[in-house]
Structure 1
Amino acid sequence: MIYVGVTGWGDHDSLYRDGVSQRDKLKEYGAHFPVVEVDASFYAVQPKRNSEKWVSETPVPFQFVVKAYQGMTGHQRGEIPFENKKEMFKAFRDSLEAYQKAGKLAMVLFQFPPWFDCKRENVNYLRWCKAEMGDTPVAIEFRNQSWYRPNMYQQTLEFVQKEGWIHTVCDEPQAGEGSIPIVLESIHPDKTLVRLHGRNIHGWQKPSSGDNWREVRYLYRYNHLELTEWVEKIRKLEKQSKDIYVLFNNNSGGDAADNAKQMIEMLGIEYEGLAPKQLGLF
């Protein structure tokens, strides 16, 4: 099955009724898409009450891709707010309980930063992360080109497969060392993640974008030809993996939701079991 959605549910105003509160947006989001990426978990390990709320507000077949906490992937600046890394991982695993009990955890996404390059120290850390996560399905996304250079390309894919990671296929600006090419390989027989970040090459690198670089880097709208090319790519991945999760991350200009709806239409998908389009007032 192909699940199409977006990253986060707070920034897609075209989906929601006028005046709908931030608190209620996920309920309405579930009327449009069968999957979402939880970004809040990257900035802080979420209290269980949050995941319990989100699980209760979504339809039975709904799926969550939960982003790993930044301290787990090396994005954290300064000291982590835990006694050690093992406690950090335990706290994060505990935060997943509601998703798992409801059968709504598609995977945890470990997105590593541009400075996480291909070297033995980092390979060993990946093994440690995978062991700490146990049986929880985990996806890996690199942001450093060294993992896919010609001399490491096949070794990287073999390592990801051997260790049991779900491969993340990315579409992003080709802006040097801190970006990766499209690696159209499923690897995992059950699940593959596709994240579409846009192609705003001028905004991708932080130094050239100023204080608002996060808003600029994901400012991009996929055109019909680009989406058509991705339909073909997704169909290829579908032959290699049981479930494909496609997440649009080009959120800055409000384009992600529109592009995701276009993609669903182009793939000819009609989802069953979504939330009602018209939600009650009470």
Structure 2
Amino acid sequence: MGNVYVGTASWTDKSLIACKRFYPPGHTSAEARLRFYASQFPMVEVDSSYYAMPSGSNARLWVERTPDAFVFNIKAFRLLTGHQTPRIAFPKDLQSALPPGPRANVYYKDLPNELIDEIWRRYLEAIEPLREAGKLGLVHFQFPPWLTGDQSSREHVEACARRMTGYGIAAEFRHRGWFDGERCDKTLAWLREMGWVNTTVDEPQGFTNSVPQVWETTSPLAAVVRLHGRNQQTWNVRDSTTASDRFNYEYREAELAALVDPIRVIAKVVARVYVVFNNNYEDQGQRNAMTLMTLLDA
């Protein structure tokens, strides 16, 4: 399964570092941790770029510190996906250009066109070192649950697609309306038309922001399988202070084994499959990723 890239969402999560089980003793610097991570896995998802704008200087360091074949999938900045975005998440020199008001958060629709253009420009400039080095896999757009698949939702996704022309891009939806009944086929056809990669998710079911597993590919470029765990109690927890609390779940080996055949099937029709473990409490994701790689190689 040489075209299946297994990794985790982030390599610097606080609970991962604090548990002291994944990184060997002495690996306390950012460089040492990334070098070690890249010796264990072929890819990683950059999660920090969702919470704040990425920087080109960091991207250049990531290139230098990883093997030639190592790949980064990078999440789109939260504003670009339509999520609420704290004012402090913007670059300091742009914060004064934000619409005035008492709200701590702003939305894409609130911003003037010239500011939106500048944010897109800076985002693409920041990830360019990864693309130049051949290390940029996909830009991952995790859309909010209030994008339900209606016309305005589709218009926003299409606007993102135009901005990302020439890049590999993946869509992950967080409202079941995109895949309810006949809308599933329509959503997949629409993604194919735009050239977007469908994200197959494994996550708790039964909520409006639960999306079913849809093992369909929409681009010959790649497929994404993103594993959030199956913790029903924490999926929509409101008093959590860290994302790792929400995704606190350790897959059993039998659960991972059940994913092997579907992954092998889609790997036959796309150039690459990225399998990303987002169960990021302590070293759960890393241990599960290693187990899945062993199962895939069996």
Normalising to structure 2: TM-score of the pair? 0.86
Amino acid at match of 2:9: T
Amino acid at match of 1:57: R
- Describe the superposition over 1:122-164 as per-residue Cα deviations: whole angstroms up to 9, x where unpaired: 1011111010112011110001100000031110000001001
Write the distance in 1 (CA, Å) between the matches of 2:49 and 2:243: 17
Change (3 A) 1:215 1:243: closer
Question: Aligned to 2:27, which of 20, 23, 33?
Answer: 20
Write the distance in 2 (CA, Å) between the matches of 1:173 and 1:108: 24
Question: Aligned to 1:129, which of 157, 160, 164?
Answer: 160
- Describe the superposition over 1:152-206 as per-residue Cα deviations: whole angstroms up to 9, x where unpaired: 1110000001001011110001131011010011121120111101000110013
Taking only the aligned residue pairs, the percentage that are identical comes to 34
- Aligned positions of 1:167-246 closer than 5 A: 167-207=198-238, 210-212=239-241, 214-246=243-275
Change (3 A) 1:255 1:211: closer
Write the distance in 1 (CA, Å) between the matches of 2:287 and 2:207: 29
Write the distance in 1 (CA, Å) between the matches of 2:278 and 2:174: 15
Write the distance in 1 (CA, Å) between the matches of 2:202 and 2:6: 15
Amino acid at match of 1:56: E
Equivalent residue of 1:41, what SS? helix
Change (3 A) 1:22 1:149: farther
Write the distance in 2 (CA, Å) between the matches of 1:213 and 1:94: 29
Write the distance in 1 (CA, Å) between the matches of 2:7 and 2:244: 20
Return the offset for 1:6.
0.6
Return the offset for 1:37.
0.4
Q: Quick check: 2:45–2:74 contact (8 Å CA) kept in 1? A: yes
Write the distance in 1 (CA, Å) between the matches of 2:160 and 2:169: 10
Return the offset for 1:22.
4.0
Equivalent residue of 1:4, what SS? strand
Gaps of 5+ in 1: 270-282
Aligned to 2:100: none
Aligned to 1:34: 42
Write the distance in 2 (CA, Å) between the matches of 1:232 and 1:212: 36
- Aligned positions of 1:1-282 closer than 5 A: 1-11=3-13, 12=16, 13-23=20-30, 24-77=32-85, 81=90, 82=94, 84-207=115-238, 210-212=239-241, 214-268=243-297
Write the distance in 2 (CA, Å) between the matches of 1:72 and 1:37: 17
Write the distance in 2 (CA, Å) between the matches of 1:255 and 1:184: 24
Q: How many residues align?
A: 267
Equivalent residue of 1:14, what SS? coil
Normalising to structure 1: TM-score of the pair? 0.90
Write the distance in 2 (CA, Å) between the matches of 1:173 and 1:22: 35
Return the offset for 1:229.
0.6
Q: Quick check: 2:256–2:292 contact (8 Å CA) kept in 1? A: yes
Amino acid at match of 2:4: I
Gaps of 5+ in 2: 95-113
Q: Quick check: 1:173–1:179 contact (8 Å CA) kept in 2? A: yes
Aligned CA RMSD, in angstroms, stands at 1.6
Aligned to 2:101: none
